[in-house]
A and B are shown apart, each in its own frame.
Chain A
Amino acid sequence: MSETPETGLATPSQTPRRLAVYRHARVTRLTHWINFLCVSMLLFSGLQIFNAHPALYWGQFGADSDPSIFELGADESRPGPPAGFARIGSSTFETTGIFGLSRNASGEFAQRGFPAWLTLPSWRDLAMGRRWHFFFAWLFVGNLLVYVVAGLANGHLRRDLAPSRRQLRPGALLQDIVDHLRLKFPRGEEARHYNPLQKLTYLGVIGLLLPAMILTGLAMSPGMDAILPWLVDMFGGRQSARTIHFIAASLIVLFVCVHVAMVLLAGPVNELRSMITGRLLISVEDKHE
């Protein structure tokens, strides 16, 4: 961002005029889309893997006869057709058609954690799900490393993502929350920079959620647990790590939903162009120039 001076597109006599600012460096754009690909593949193959044992536990161990804290299943004990359910702790919700029990490719109901349209491959295939998952896990880690190293080297992390002291004042944060709730988007000079919530969210995803995914993923590997025993301990055991992996993935899905909603609200063409060509159009009043 801001590596080259912005180019004015409109004539100086107009007020306000629209400026194209160089918003995203090439490495940011490239790693963004590779990350999008990797996270998508990891999510859908991850749901395939989850379906092999659609229950989550806390602690070192956990299997059928141990108490689970989350479960997707089908109840076949009651009379009539089986019902899909999702259970969180002691609360159970009927979810027939989506979770626990959903239609397969031939249209028949089958017991299945997540439905076919959310898993990779769509049919039940743990082996292929794992192949997709670990291939894209490597690509994801490599891509994240490139992003972080480049972001440190070119100043992107410090300049664009680290909130300024002024932005972190309670008043500024409160104002930003109110602006977000009113769907009031920054205009003019303000649009040149990320707002405080945006910065904190991106930093939270890049600095906490994505590393948490990698570390909990590694903690599930029996080979890595022999190499780095403290890693699995840090999460309270392998089954805890698996649960945290699932929760962090869910938070990433939540982030993506909000992120895409914000792009749609802020102007999808302009925002998408800025992440493809690097240039974002902003309106600037003449007095600021």
Chain B
Amino acid sequence: MSRIQLPRRRFLALSAAGLGGALLAGCDRLSETPAVQDVLFSAESLTYRVQRLLGGRDALAREFTVADLSPVFKVNGSSMPEGEEYAALLEGNFVDWRLRVEGLVANPLDLSLEDLRNLPQRTQITRHDCVEGWSAIGKWRGVPLAIVLQHASLLPTARFVVFHCADVYERALDGTGQYYESIDLVDAFHPQTILAHSLNDAPLSVGHGAPLRLRVERQLGYKHAKYVMRIELTDRLDRFGRGQGGFWPDRGYEWYAGI
């Protein structure tokens, strides 16, 4: 709007441009003001409540057919966890890997890949939406999280499921950087929420989160934790990382990523 060249109106146009510039510079300052952040961040709980109200607990994400699959499913985030422990598990083809389920449960579990494959399975072809904007369609197979949680038997105080991962995405100065994510019990018991061990009929590649990753289909990609090593049931999220319930939520992203 400031580009219109009208000599008589030049002053107004320049004023508008100046105002626009000042507005954006002001918004930069506001972006770093905690009180403003609190106001902006309040939209997340409104979105969460409205989507839960409209969708209820069990609205299903669209499932596609084999004809809809992305030719290449993009690898994003960590593509190879560091450290000897993961390297040794990979070397042994994850035979020695165990999924620990603990926290506010009556029966803590240690499950091998074999154990998980022997539980009832679900296969789903779904669209993965990255927070960056791209989408990919893949065929996932795994055990519904609800079945694992039923085996573990939740204590009444459990409110969130936390997924602890093998990868450190970016080690920060405060020592955080270990990837983790968390979901509420509505999503945890949703029929499409699965612990996936295969993508497109093949065991998960390292890039896609071998040996096990979460699929929580009504939320964005960063919630779908890869390299899941440990599942912890908890009543509060402020005990983990920087307290916002996930690696990316700790870095300003929405904990509820249904949008």
Q: How large is the interface on A (under 10, 10 to 19, 20 to 34, 35 or more residues)?
A: 35 or more
Residue in contact with A226 in the complex, picked from B12, B21, B59, CB distance below 8 Å:
B59
Contacts of A117 in B (CB 8 A): 21, 24
Q: How large is the interface on B (under 10, 10 to 19, 20 to 34, 35 or more residues)?
A: 35 or more
Residue in contact with A260 in the complex, picked from B1, B55, B131, CB distance below 8 Å:
B1
Tell me if B232 counts as interface (CB < 8 A to partner A).
Answer: no
Q: Which residues 38-71 of B sit at the A interface, judged by CB distance below 8 A? A: 39-44, 46-47, 51, 54-55, 59-62, 64, 68, 70-71
The answer to whether A225 and B61 touch (CB under 8 A), given A125-B252, A134-B47, is yes
* B27:A120 contact, CB within 8 angstroms: yes
A204 to chain B, nearest CB (A): 19
* A225:B62 contact, CB within 8 angstroms: yes
Residue in contact with B24 in the complex, picked from A120, A225, A265, CB distance below 8 Å:
A120
Contacts of B137 in A (CB 8 A): 60-61
Q: Is chain A's binding surface mostly helix, strand, loop or mixed?
A: helix
Which of A52, A223, A264 has the most B CB atoms < 10 Å from its CB? A223
Residue in contact with B28 in the complex, picked from A122, A137, A222, CB distance below 8 Å:
A122
Residue in contact with B132 in the complex, picked from A53, A125, A268, CB distance below 8 Å:
A53
* B62:A232 contact, CB within 8 angstroms: yes
Tell me if B72 counts as interface (CB < 8 A to partner A).
Answer: yes
* B219:A128 contact, CB within 8 angstroms: no
Contacts of B21 in A (CB 8 A): 117
Chain A residue at minimal CB-CB distance from B37: A131
* B44:A134 contact, CB within 8 angstroms: yes
Chain A residue at minimal CB-CB distance from B216: A222
Tell me if B35 counts as interface (CB < 8 A to partner A).
Answer: no
Tell me if A130 counts as interface (CB < 8 A to partner B).
Answer: yes
Tell me if A238 counts as interface (CB < 8 A to partner B).
Answer: yes
Residue in contact with B42 in the complex, picked from A44, A135, A256, CB distance below 8 Å:
A135
* A238:B127 contact, CB within 8 angstroms: yes
* B134:A223 contact, CB within 8 angstroms: no
27 inter-chain pairs at a CB distance below 8 angstroms, sorted by A residue, are A44-B24, A57-B134, A60-B127, A61-B68, A61-B137, A63-B136, A64-B74, A65-B71, A66-B72, A127-B251, A127-B252, A127-B253, A128-B31, A131-B43, A131-B252, A134-B44, A134-B259, A137-B43, A222-B61, A222-B129, A222-B219, A223-B51, A223-B259, A260-B1, A261-B4, A264-B9, A268-B12
